[in-house]
Amino acid sequence: MTTSHPAFTLLRSQPIDSLQVTVEEYVHTKTGAQHIHIAADNNENVFLVALRTVPEDSTGVAHILEHTALCGSEKYPVRDPFFMMIRRSLNTFMNAFTSSDWTAYPFASQNRKDFNNLLDVYLDAVFFSRLDQLDFAQEGHRLEFEETGNTDSPLVYKGVVFNEMKGAMSSVPSQLWQTLCKYLFPTSTYHYNSGGDPECIPDLSYEELKAFYETHYHPSNATFMTFGDIPAAEHQAKFEDRALQRFDKLDRTIQVHDEKRYFSPVRVEEAYPLAEENIDNKTHVVLGWLLGKSTDLEDSLRAQLLASVLLDNSASPLQHLLETTDLGSSPSPLCGLDDSQRELTFICGIEGSDTSKAADFESQVLAVLEKVAEEGVAYEQLQASLQQLELQQREIGGDSYPYGLQLILTGLTAATHRGDVIGLLNLDPVLDKLREDIKNPDFIKSLARQWLVDNPHRVRLVMRPDQQLSERRNQAETDKLAAIKAALSDSEKTAIVDQAEALTQRQEQKDDESILPKVDLTDIPSNLHYTARESEIAINGTNLTRYAAGTNGLVYQQIIVQLPALTEEEKAVMPFYSICMTEMGVGDKDYLQTQLWQSQVAGSISAFTSIRGASDDVQAIKGNITLSAKALKSRQADLCDLMWQTFHNVRFDELGRLKELVAQTRARRETSVTGNGHSLAMAAASSGMSPSAKLSHQLTGLAGIKATKALDESLSDDKALQSFAATLQGIHNKVLASPRQYLLVGEAHNLDEYQQAITEKWQGDQDTSSENFALAPVSEQIKEAWVTNTQVNFCAKAYPSVPMDHDDAAALTVLGGFLRNGFLHRSIREQGGAYGGGASQDNNIAAFRFYSYRDPRLSETLDDFDKAIDWLINTDHEYQPLEEAILGVISAIDKPSSPAGEAKQTFHSELFERTREKREHFRNQVLKVSIDDLKRVAQTYLVGDKASVAVITNSDNQKAVSDLGLTTIQL
pLDDT tens-place string over residues 431-466: 889 999 999 999 999 999 999 999 999 999 999 999
Which of 744, 762, 752, 537 has the alpha carbon at shortest distance from 631? 744
pLDDT at 766: 61
Asked if the model's pLDDT at residue 540 lies above 80, the reply is no
Please compute the mean of the pLDDT values over residues 334-359 and round it to a whole number.
95
Cβ count within 10 A of residue 370: 15
Q: At residue 153, what is the residue type?
A: S
pLDDT tens-place string over residues 787-846: 998 889 999 999 999 999 999 999 999 999 999 999 999 999 999 989 899 999 999 999
pTM over 0.75: yes
Cα dihedral 936/926/80/138 (nearest 10): 60
- 529 falls in which pLDDT band (50, 70, 90)? confident
- 527 falls in which pLDDT band (50, 70, 90)? confident
pLDDT at 1: 61
Burial class of residue 4, CB neighbours in 10 A (0-12, 13-18, 19+): buried
Which of 42, 917, 924 has the alpha carbon at shortest distance from 532? 917
Average pLDDT, the chain: 93
Asked if the model's pLDDT at residue 244 lies above 90, the reply is yes
pLDDT at 764: 59
pLDDT tens-place string over residues 134-167: 999 999 999 999 988 899 999 999 999 998 898 8
The sign one gets for the Cα dihedral 787, 788, 793, 797 is: negative
Asked if the model's pLDDT at residue 767 lies above 80, the reply is no
Q: Whole-angstrom Cα distance, residue 432 to residue 352?
A: 41
Which superfamily is assigned to 8-251+488-515 in CATH?
Metalloenzyme, LuxS/M16 peptidase-like (3.30.830.10)
Q: Whole-angstrom Cα distance, residue 188 to residue 260?
A: 8
Please compute the mean of the pLDDT values over residues 863-882 and round it to a whole number.
96
Query: Which helix or strand (DSSP H or E) is residue 636 part of?
Result: helix 636-649
β-sheet with 794-800: strand ranges across: 836-842, 847-853, 794-800, 948-953, 783-787, 967-970
Which of 771, 703, 382 has the alpha carbon at shortest distance from 567? 771
The sign one gets for the Cα dihedral 642, 643, 644, 649 is: positive
DSSP secondary structure, 726-771, as one string: HHHHHHHHHHHTS-EEEEEEE-GGGHHHHHHHHHHHHTT------P
Q: Whole-angstrom Cα distance, residue 699 to residue 701?
A: 6
Q: At residue 178, what is the residue type?
A: Q
Distances (CA, A) of 787 to 553, 605, 958: 48, 35, 9
pLDDT at 768: 65
Q: Whole-angstrom Cα distance, residue 68 to residue 64?
A: 6
pLDDT at 765: 58
Please compute the mean of the pLDDT values over residues 729-733 and round it to a whole number.
96
CA angle 468, 671, 711 (to 5 degrees): 100
pLDDT at 770: 67
Topology alike, domains 8-251+488-515 and 266-466? yes
Per DSSP, helices labelled H in 398-454 are 403-416, 421-425, 428-437, 443-448
Per DSSP, helices labelled H in 850-915 are 859-874, 879-894, 899-911
pLDDT tens-place string over residues 86-120: 889 999 999 999 999 999 999 999 999 999 999 99
- 763 falls in which pLDDT band (50, 70, 90)? low
Strands 783-787 and 948-953: parallel
pLDDT at 89: 93
Strands 783-787 and 967-970: parallel
Q: Whole-angstrom Cα distance, residue 203 to residue 398?
A: 40
Lowest mean pLDDT among 14-23, 681-690, 722-731: 14-23
pLDDT tens-place string over residues 162-177: 988 988 888 889 999 9
Q: Whole-angstrom Cα distance, residue 357 to residue 244?
A: 57
Please compute the mean of the pLDDT values over residues 49-74 and round it to a whole number.
96
**Long-range contacts formed by 447-452: CB under 8 A, 24+ apart:** 447/302, 447/303, 447/305, 447/306, 448/306, 448/310, 448/369, 448/372, 448/373, 449/373, 451/289, 451/291, 451/292, 451/303, 451/306, 451/346, 452/289, 452/306, 452/346, 452/369, 452/373
Q: Whole-angstrom Cα distance, residue 723 to residue 593?
A: 25
By the 8 A CB rule, do 203 and 59 touch? yes
Cα dihedral 425/430/432/434 (nearest 10): -130
Please list the residues that pair with 614 across neighbouring strands: 617
By the 8 A CB rule, do 869 and 863 touch? no
CATH class of 266-466: alpha beta
Please compute the mean of the pLDDT values over residues 191-195 and round it to a whole number.
95
By the 8 A CB rule, do 424 and 414 touch? yes
Q: Where are the domains of the chain?
A: 8-251+488-515, 266-466, 783-970
Tally of helices (H runs) and strands (E runs) in the chain: 35, 28
Q: What is the percent of the chain with per-residue pLDDT over 70, rounded to a whole number?
A: 99
Per DSSP, helices labelled H in 57-111 are 61-69, 81-87
Looking at 3.40.50.2000, 3.30.830.10, 2.40.50.1020, 3.40.50.10420, the CATH number of the domain 783-970 comes to: 3.30.830.10
Please compute the mean of the pLDDT values over residues 746-769 and round it to a whole number.
81
Please measure the distance between the N-terminal and C-terminal CA atoms of the chain and give it in whole angstroms: 61
Q: Whole-angstrom Cα distance, residue 92 to residue 596?
A: 38
Q: What is the DSSP letter of 604?
A: E
